[in-house]
Amino acid sequence: MKKCEFCGKEISYDDMYCSEDCEKKNLQYYNLSNRFAKPFSMINVVCLFGITVGMFIFPMAKPFGAALAITCCAVLGVLLLLLPFPTESMIRKFKLQKAMKVTRLVGVGMMFLGLLISGLLAIFLS
Helices 20-57 and 62-82: angle between axes, nearest 10 degrees: 170
What three-state secondary structure class fits 91? Answer: helix
* The total number of structural domains that make up the chain: 1
Q: What is the mean pLDDT of residues 97-107?
A: 96
pLDDT tens for 68-84 read: 989 999 999 999 999 99
**Average pLDDT of the residues of the chain:** 92
Whether 85 and 104 have beta carbons less than 8 Å apart is answered as: no
Are 47 and 76 spatial neighbours (Cβ–Cβ below 8 Å)?
A: yes
User: What is the reported pTM?
Assistant: 0.87
Task: Give the confidence band of 120 by pLDDT, cuts at 50, 70, 90.
Answer: confident
Query: Domain of 27?
Result: 2-125
CA 49/CA 55 separation, integer angstroms: 10
